[in-house]
Amino acid sequence: SFSVLCRDDEDTFKILVATDIHLGYLEKDPIRGNDTFVTFNEILDHAQKNEVDFILLGGDLFHDNKPSRKTIHSCLESLRKYCMGDRPVQFEILSDQAVNFRYSKFPWVNYQDENLNISIPVFSIHGNHDDPTGADALCALDVISCAGLLNHFGRSTSVEKIDISPILLRKGRTKIALYGLGAIPDERLYRMFVNKQVTMLRPKEDEDSWFNLFVIHQNRSKHGATNYIPEQFLDDFINLVVWGHEHECKIAPVQNEQQRFYVSQPGSSVVTSLSPGEAVKKHIGLLHVKGKNMKMQKIALETVRTFHIEDIVLADHPDLFNPDNPNVTQAMEAFCVEKVELMLDSAERERLGNPRQPEKPLIRLRVDYAGGFEPFSVHRFSQKYMHRVANPKDIIHFFRHREQKEKNVIDLNFGKLSGRPDEGTTLRVEDLVKQYFQTAEKKVQLSLLTERGMGEAVQEFVDKEEKDAIEELVKFQLEKTQKFLRERRTDAEEEKIDEEVRKFRENRKKNTEEEDKEVREAMTRARAHRSEDAVLVAASSDEDSMDMEMIGIDDPSEGLSATLSRGRGRARGRARGAKGQSSTARGSSRRGRGSTSQESSSSSRTYKPVSVPAKNMSITD
């Protein structure tokens, strides 16, 4: 029974389960800036008060891939406050920790480190927001792990094969095999499951006596043909799956009829999009495991900002709104004011029962104005609620319900794309790139690169701020194509070259695994260049200070008129973080003394057209 299972004894594991905490989300917002930090403290406080054995996080602890100093500091402060102490840890680890934590500089669990005093260990996989990037493939969790406050597990770097080795835990007579898989691009992981390239390793001894717990951070709902992970892909020996990434709280375990395991989706602890799924009450879970039995106890979060959302379809109220009436806009606005006031009353009643809840609620009114209506000024409407709601600028969301078209062709016009997509639809960078080239005219189609590779490079550029990603992909694929043409000994005639390039590109498109390798290799080169650039910038800044001393200038700003390329480029770079520099000035500040802007541009990594007489041209030219 539940009471027996929840009773504290030497055989019962108590685990606090949470996912998608998104520390640092809207941290610069004057109203909502501290929401994530306050709720994280509440989660850790529940763990401490319930004297849990450990905390299990399902990814996206951080909202940004490169969290701010404030976010990192706040996270360390909370973990140190709640997770360190003298209370002894009651379970032991039986597996090889050098395998479980092999990517850590300290490959053992933090509570067994003799230099640390940990009372509540935290185990976490990474999500898609805080995944490893850069030349060293580090993520924010690795920083927290290096500080000894968290155990980062479930990381996989191979694109050919994934072996998930569990952390084996024992408390009394209860044994848990904890499996984790950090976020991987859904299409790639889907393909690896289909190709039987994902293996969950099982303990050799008494494999049926273990409670198998799996933490994953992927799309659970279908966003495309292969842009999600179907539950039936997972092994049927699992007892419970904790599913991160999906923000709607469905924490009560639901059994998968086919595989017989249970799935718990804790959801996020902060509202990051004003959509219906986020309006569901937020919870974390207190999981009790004894032998092979489990019970998930829901704990409502009290510090989460209340969120109310409603939809209005104007065409459903012909008695109130007539598009031909000259005063219809005023009638619409008055109707929306009435709706928002009712939502505010409801939010206030909810808050009265919970003093820990933030004062200003989040309000969203989605208005379908299809049927000949015109939207009114959202800016003017928002002025009425500046001091009453947490999101005054986007209370109203106007949209037109699209009727199903007969044809299946996607009409994508980038000029007509609204600034904000409809709720419930997430526009991904790589999808936009793919759709653009699918619908583009022939003259702007890609002839050398593939849409997929280009999409991934643009995504790295946008999401991970890898500024060399696109350039490196172009260079890498250009080199591969040139090598292919040289090996084929193709004649230097345009038609023949074009035909060979087309064949080579088609072969690459079919071989998705090879293309994955190419993209990863190009991204690695981009990260390596970033590291080199950082070294060069550091070196040039040392040169700058030496130059200033040699010239006898105490204040760099006094040297502005000294020389155009060196004085202006460098002094401004130091004064304003190089925001105003042109690319050529940036090149000169990096690459050598006294070089003119013309010289520096040729020394940077940009291509210069090569003029070679036609009869002497080689394939590479």
| Residue 407 pLDDT grade (very low, low, confident, very high; cuts 50, 70, 90) | very low
* pLDDT higher than threshold 50 for residue 274: yes
Q: What is the mean pLDDT of residues 301-322?
A: 95
Q: What is the mean pLDDT of residues 343-351?
A: 93
Q: Looking at the domain assignment, is residue 423 inside a domain?
A: no
Q: Indicate if 96 and 216 belong to the same structural domain.
A: yes
* Phi, psi angles (nearest 5°) of residue 191: -65, -40
Say if CB 50 and CB 14 are below 8 A apart: yes
User: Tokens in use for 122?
Assistant: 């935290």
* Secondary structure (3-state) at 116: coil
Q: Indicate if 392 and 484 belong to the same structural domain.
A: no
We report the CATH number of the domain holding residue 293 as 3.60.21.10
Q: Looking at the domain assignment, is residue 603 inside a domain?
A: no
Residue at which a domain ends, from 272, 300, 328? 300
Across the chain, mean pLDDT equals: 83
Among candidates 256, 268, 175, which has minimal Cα distance to 217?
268
Among candidates 337, 606, 619, which has minimal Cα distance to 468?
606
Catalytic residue among 22, 126, 129, 397: 129
Ordered alpha helix ranges (H), 427-511:
429-439, 451-463, 469-488, 494-510
Q: Indicate if 188 and 63 belong to the same structural domain.
A: yes
Choice between 342 and 483, residue whose per-residue pLDDT is larger: 342
3-state helix, strand and coil shares in percent for the chain, rounded to the nearest 5: 40, 15, 45
Name the DSSP class of 402.
P
Residue at which a domain ends, from 499, 514, 533? 533
Q: Looking at the domain assignment, is residue 415 inside a domain?
A: no
Give the Cα separation of 49 and 120 in Å (integer): 11
E strand or H helix at 202: none
Q: What is the mean pLDDT of residues 590-599?
A: 42
Q: Looking at the domain assignment, is residue 591 inside a domain?
A: no
We report the CATH number of the domain holding residue 395 as 3.30.110.110
Residue at which a domain ends, from 514, 533, 552? 533
User: Tokens in use for 606?
Assistant: 């940009």
Name the DSSP class of 361.
P
Q: Indicate if 123 and 223 belong to the same structural domain.
A: yes
Q: Indicate if 287 and 386 belong to the same structural domain.
A: no
User: Is-catalytic flag, 63?
Assistant: no
| Residue 387 pLDDT grade (very low, low, confident, very high; cuts 50, 70, 90) | very high
Q: What is the mean pLDDT of residues 488-511?
A: 77
Write down the pLDDT at residue 401.
81
Q: Indicate if 286 and 314 belong to the same structural domain.
A: no
Q: What is the mean pLDDT of residues 229-235?
A: 97
Say if CB 269 and CB 39 are below 8 A apart: yes
Say if CB 145 and CB 152 are below 8 A apart: yes
Write down the pLDDT at residue 374.
93
Write down the pLDDT at residue 563.
41
Say if CB 314 and CB 376 are below 8 A apart: no
Give the Cα separation of 386 and 31 in Å (integer): 11
Q: Looking at the domain assignment, is residue 566 inside a domain?
A: no
Domain count, the chain: 3
Give the Cα separation of 31 and 390 in Å (integer): 6
* Secondary structure (3-state) at 138: strand
Choice between 548 and 249, residue whose per-residue pLDDT is larger: 249
Write down the pLDDT at residue 582.
43
Write down the pLDDT at residue 561.
41
Q: Indicate if 167 and 267 belong to the same structural domain.
A: yes
Contacting residues for 432 by C-beta, under 8 A, at least 6 apart: none
Q: Indicate if 339 and 485 belong to the same structural domain.
A: no
> For residue 465, what are the domain limits?
429-533
Q: Looking at the domain assignment, is residue 606 inside a domain?
A: no
Q: Comparing 146-160, 272-286, 588-602, which segment has the lowest mean pLDDT?
A: 588-602
Say if CB 307 and CB 270 are below 8 A apart: no
Q: Indicate if 268 and 355 belong to the same structural domain.
A: no
Q: Indicate if 185 and 209 belong to the same structural domain.
A: yes
Q: Indicate if 142 and 26 belong to the same structural domain.
A: yes
Q: Indicate if 323 and 348 belong to the same structural domain.
A: yes
Q: Looking at the domain assignment, is residue 289 inside a domain?
A: yes
Write down the pLDDT at residue 518.
75
Q: Looking at the domain assignment, is residue 419 inside a domain?
A: no
